[in-house]
Chain A
Amino acid sequence: MHLIQRPDEPASEITPREVYESRRRLLTGAAALALMPQAFAQSGKLPKLPAVKSAVPGAQTMEKPTSYSDVTSYNNFYEFGTDKADPAENAHTLRTRPWTVSVEGECAKPGKYDIDALLKLAPMEERIYRLRCVEGWSMVIPWEGYSLAELIKRAELNSRAKYVEFTSLADKSQMPGVRANVLDWPYIEGLRMDEAMHPLTLLTFGLYGEVLPNQNGAPVRLTVPWKYGFKSAKSIVKIRFVEKQPMSSWTKAAQQEYGFFSNVNPNVDHPRWSQATERRIGEGGGGLSALFAKRRATLMFNGYEPQVGQLYAGMDLKKNY
């Protein structure tokens, strides 16, 4: 972990006050991370996924990670049902081997990658990211993976590759939620090329030092920490480089509610709820006292503004929500 500010770092890289203050406040939380028996309490059932701590700026938040059991029992993965308890309950039917990811579109070297080849494509890094759901709750999650850029570089893009489109598996026999018509399956997500190439955009294979549990998007998913959670496609089977902005599933379902960018932004409200604050899962202890844990202020780009703010320089973020 780099704690020393390099002298040649541009002003945009300097940690804003609110961020470092929150880091200081949470240093105690970081100490807890080192000896965090309760958080690991229920991991240990899946194969280990060794990784080194990532040196990518922003990849090591000092905040206290959400417990493994909360991360793996409370999430949205509509392919397994619309309730946040459904994925943990239903995802055991997902078969993650054999699994191939097709890389195609505007590139010189398309290909079909076997999941085991993909796992070895680049060194695994551990990254501790904040996750902010569009519904107004948040977690802190230690993921394992490598920058999506590693894979994209190998595909040798041509000049027409302006966006990346991600397709998730949609198999009724493995995913009971796909039988319901809540979304137009398969789940499609997309990123602009500079977003996809940003080092923080993580091609993710693991969680808490182990391979991903099915309900969290096994065997391979995306993690884009400065965007609302639904932008991070799970159980990916296709990565396609395209010239036109892809139509993502939620945008297709409700254009006025879910834009293509969907960057975490406390100043642009979702039509159904405010995005100014969030409820950090697991905060406030257990039992009834957790009820009264205060909501926290949501940070611009989920606190990753120093790293990603320049991607959106000059853009009207109210229009490009």
Chain B
Amino acid sequence: MQRSPLLHWSAKVLLFIACCLPLAWIIFRLATQPVTNPAEYLIRGLGDWTLRGLCITLAVTPVRTILKQPALARFRRMLGVWTFVYGTLHLLAYTWLDKSLDLNEVLRDIAKRPFILMGFAAWLLMAPLAATSFNRAIKALGAKRWQTLHKLVYVVIVVGLLHFIWLRAGKHNFAEPAVYGAIIAVLLGWRVWRRFKPV
């Protein structure tokens, strides 16, 4: 049987490089082109790619199943970890550029503004997933418990979407959140459908 190119070691290297690209693009734009509000551009860009990362990570299983490409599963973890990296950079950029690294200000903001609370909650819920994303953690937890823990990602994506919707609610601007909402509904809906479909 022909071995899938997806199983070649270089596939993971390529994916790693691909995961760096959005960040590289954001920094390249900032460094070379006049961006009117650079801090906003960076914070939003990182936030957009965190949400996109979540969608891409959650698309792995449906795509793998539908296209019958089981080898795709080996990319899921790296995508998840990179999503956490973008989420962390998003949080850091906000803390640094919007709040001048004043942690009290950040805490006040979390307490005061529901959409900030949602964003922070999504990041907090992602942290244990990133922390248990290596093989020894799976062994230590046991596959079953590890899998249960990682179901948290479904909560993360909904909370993350809420963060985005509530941000835009202030400006009555729901076009983009609606697109993400539709994608996320399909990704989660497919899982529900598969679970309950008559065999």
Chain A interface residues (CB < 8 Å from chain B)? 69-70, 73-74, 82, 84, 135, 137, 180, 182-183, 253-254, 257, 269-274, 279, 281-282, 286-288, 290-295
Chain B interface residues (CB < 8 Å from chain A)? 27, 30-32, 34-40, 42, 97-98, 100, 109, 112-113, 115, 166-167, 169-173, 175
Query: By the criterion CB–CB under 8 Å, are B112 and A287 in contact?
Result: no
Query: By the criterion CB–CB under 8 Å, are B38 and A288 in contact?
Result: yes
The residues of A that contact B36 with a CB separation of less than 8 Å are: 70, 73-74, 84, 281-282
Known A180-B175, A257-B170, A292-B97: A271·B38 in contact at CB below 8 Å: no
Q: How far is the CB of A71 from chain B (nearest CB, A)?
A: 9
How many A-B pairs have beta carbons closer than 8 Å: the answer is 64
In the complex, the 7 A-B pairs of residues with the closest C-beta atoms, listed nearest first: A74-B36, A272-B170, A82-B173, A290-B38, A291-B38, A182-B172, A70-B36
Chain B, interface SS category: helix
> Residue on A with the closest CB to B108?
A274
Query: By the criterion CB–CB under 8 Å, are A288 and B31 in contact?
Result: yes
Chain A, interface SS category: loop
Query: By the criterion CB–CB under 8 Å, are B37 and A281 in contact?
Result: yes
Known A281-B36, A288-B31: A274·B109 in contact at CB below 8 Å: yes
**Cα separation A273 to B108 with both chains bound (whole Å):** 11
The residues of A that contact B173 with a CB separation of less than 8 Å are: 82, 182
Q: How far is the CB of A33 from chain B (nearest CB, A)?
A: 20
Q: How far is the CB of A321 from chain B (nearest CB, A)?
A: 14
> Residue on B with the closest CB to A253?
B172
**Cα separation A84 to B37 with both chains bound (whole Å):** 10
Residue among B35, B38, B98 facing the most chain A CB atoms (10 A cut-off): B38
Q: How far is the CB of A2 from chain B (nearest CB, A)?
A: 33
**Cα separation A73 to B113 with both chains bound (whole Å):** 29
Query: By the criterion CB–CB under 8 Å, are B112 and A74 in contact?
Result: no
**Cα separation A74 to B38 with both chains bound (whole Å):** 12
A-B residue pairs in contact (CB < 8 Å), sample of 18: A69-B34, A70-B34, A74-B36, A84-B37, A180-B175, A182-B172, A182-B173, A183-B172, A272-B169, A272-B170, A273-B113, A274-B109, A281-B36, A281-B37, A282-B36, A291-B42, A293-B39, A295-B98
**Cα separation A253 to B174 with both chains bound (whole Å):** 13
Besides A272-B166, A294-B100, 10 other CB < 8 A contacts?
A: A74-B37, A82-B175, A182-B173, A253-B172, A271-B170, A272-B115, A273-B113, A287-B31, A288-B38, A290-B39
**Cα separation A7 to B107 with both chains bound (whole Å):** 49
